[in-house]
Structure 1
């Protein structure tokens, strides 16, 4: 593998000194970019794009051609694991992801296999190795997975949900069935992320998109417990390099101390938590990633720069901050506004690393 020319993202995750705050964006390869839309049209549809390693590589690298980003993230979807379990993932225009088979009973859970990535998801690891080769050491590559709880919400609801009524009903009325499902998912995620690491991912992120929908006690039992199981099962060294692990629970600001105690290297923050107070709470235990509201990118360039400056000041001096949005970039954002955002970090952050 080529030597890494820009390692500031990995160094910041490990709280090592950096010359400036590194930056990447969740969903940085996506629908706000015209070049992405062209490649997706060429692929035919979203899943065909995910399953074509060359085209997945192309869209992964597209944002790096536009912006001075410090990491690339694998182009894929969090629902590849349930799809590989045989649930039949498809996408309805304007409706988001859907499954042909829904998991609602103990028998449904019993019938699910634990995913073997090499056999069931080789298109993902092929994409990882293709992207890593094409990056040629330019920036590190991030692999990722959905958290067990987040994957379970889609599997039990059959798609996106606003009220989580089926998955929460199962959790409260049949907790042992829910634990059985979450354990299968956790074991599948461990295999999946370790396969990504072996294929060339240099850091991994667990997206717990729906953990924030849970009560305090249920978050600990049904979401965090399984992310901790994953963190414990991951390869943290590969080819002589440390592989940092980032946990991101959207709406999880009240659980930062518990999340930091899992043994992960960094926590992703959404925009509802002040990054300065988060730093005070977790101390030197973990790095922090985030956390500008993606909607700021609809504002004027001056307003974007002011918000970047505010967040940098809130975090304060020293390493351990990876700048990001508090969730994925919205599809209607002007790419020029994303450029203002990233260039503001490049310009304003060195003062915090003097």
Structure 2
């Protein structure tokens, strides 16, 4: 279908490695609990009900664009990485964090998953929300689609929720390595179908969140995460062909893999957490990919002086040796619920100010 023409393509140009007049900026979880307008919706709607109701998902996606008009350069669809385990046949609750009442305890439990996942049937509500949101944005900014990475999703499916020790999933990968690898690729196949469907529905950039990549050693990352990440990038590219859009990989905590991911992962942009220096990240990727990040979200609690000083330092690092090029400004992880929305506004204003310098 035809969509309104895009008025602001900063994000897409930066993701393609181009030099831009300033850094495009958005933040992970920008449609969420720190916004009072989001909390108003949540008073009367359960989390996954919002995800499954396109009109509500559209409204929440657009809320930060409306609040920060002229300051944000992207919208990201309101959804959750755990819709894929749901599509595969698992129950997921939000109490308030994610909870799987019946996790995968042993490889025999894989039989409980759907043999075939029809993403149009199981996740069509996300596609509808993307299309409605793309229209509602009226071309103001590009719309980002996303999914969780297989390793991160697999960990949730086995652990039954969040974890501090990752005991259950570590048991799986070391005790049942072949069964683990097979399930990771099975999850990746659903990810590919889901991401391709998102582009067809209106997504203009895709991001894969490997939130728990940092729980793996470099060897185990190469064994249990990287293969499925590369499989997704390759599969999406092949399926979309000339219709492909830029793809971002955010492998939180896996800074040891930046150089090799830049070399061969197939992603256009690598997201960075706050534990790597911008200049070091630039050196490691050697201009092979664009970068996204990477201010510590905790700085947003430090007041305007701290926010401005940190943003200036971040901008100086990413724009050294060539100005503003191939960089998308962001936090090093998602914004947290207690942030004052006006302090986030100040973050955006500082990025505009300091990233525009040559």
Q: Given the two structures, how large is their TM-score scaled by the length of structure 2?
A: 0.95
Do the aligned residues in 1 keep the contact of 2:24 with 2:73 (CA within 8 Å)? yes
User: Aligned residue for 2:281?
Assistant: 278
CA shift for structure 1 position 257: 1.4
Partner of 1:6 in structure 2? Answer: 8
Equivalent of 1:196, from 195, 198, 215?
198
Query: 4+ residue stretches of structure 1 with deviation over 3 A?
Result: 235-242
Would you say 1:322 and 2:357 are equivalent positions?
no
The whole-number CA distance in structure 1 between the counterparts of 2:240 and 2:139 is: 16
Shift of 1:110: 3.5
| Deviation of 1:112 (Å) | 1.8
Structure 1: 5+ residue runs without aligned partners? none
Pairing of 1:224-243 with structure 2 (within 5 A):
224-235=226-237, 242-243=244-245
- Cα deviation, residue 82, structure 1: 0.4
Equivalent pairs counted in the alignment come to: 349
**Over residues 250-297 of structure 1, what are the superposed CA-to-partner deviations in whole Å (9 max), with x where a residue is unaligned?**
111111012212111000000000111111111111000000000000
**Residues in 1 aligned to 2:88 and 2:241: alpha-carbon distance in whole angstroms:** 30
Tell me if structure 2 keeps the 8 A contact 1:21–1:345: yes
Q: CA offsets per residue over residues 41-76 of structure 1, 9 Å max, x none? A: 23x211111111011000101111122100000100
Using the alignment, how far apart are the partners of 1:269 and 1:349 within structure 2? 17
Q: Could you list the per-position Cα deviations for residues 143-173 of structure 1 after superposition, in whole angstroms to 9, with x for gaps in the alignment?
A: 0000000000110011111111011101001
User: Are 2:93 and 1:82 equivalent residues in the alignment?
Assistant: no
Q: Once the 2 structures are TM-superposed, how far is the Cα of residue 116 of structure 1 from its aligned partner?
A: 2.0
Distance 1:2 1:241 in 2: 17
RMSD: 1.4
Q: Is the 8 A contact 2:196 2:239 kept in 1?
A: no
- Alignment match, 1:288: 291
Match of 1:91 among 89, 94, 106: 94
Give the 3 Å change call, closer, same or farther, for CA 239–251 of structure 1 in structure 2.
closer
Does residue 121 (structure 1) correspond to residue 127 (structure 2)? The answer is: no
Which range moved further: 143-152 or 250-259? 250-259
Which of 247, 251, 255 is the matching residue for 2:253?
A: 251
Task: Note the residue ranges of structure 2 that are not aligned, 5 or more in a row.
Answer: none
Offset at residue 92 of structure 1 (A): 1.3
- Counterparts of 1:1-354 in structure 2 under 5 Å? 1-42=3-44, 44-67=45-68, 68-93=71-96, 96-113=97-114, 114-235=116-237, 242-260=244-262, 261-316=264-319, 317-352=323-358
Give the superposition deviation at 1:5: 0.1
- TM-score if structure 1 supplies the norm length? 0.96
Given that residues 109 and 180 in structure 1 are in contact (C-alpha distance below 8 angstroms), is that contact kept between their aligned partners in structure 2?
no
CA contact (8 A) 2:292 2:330 kept: yes
The offset of 1:329, in angstroms, is 0.3
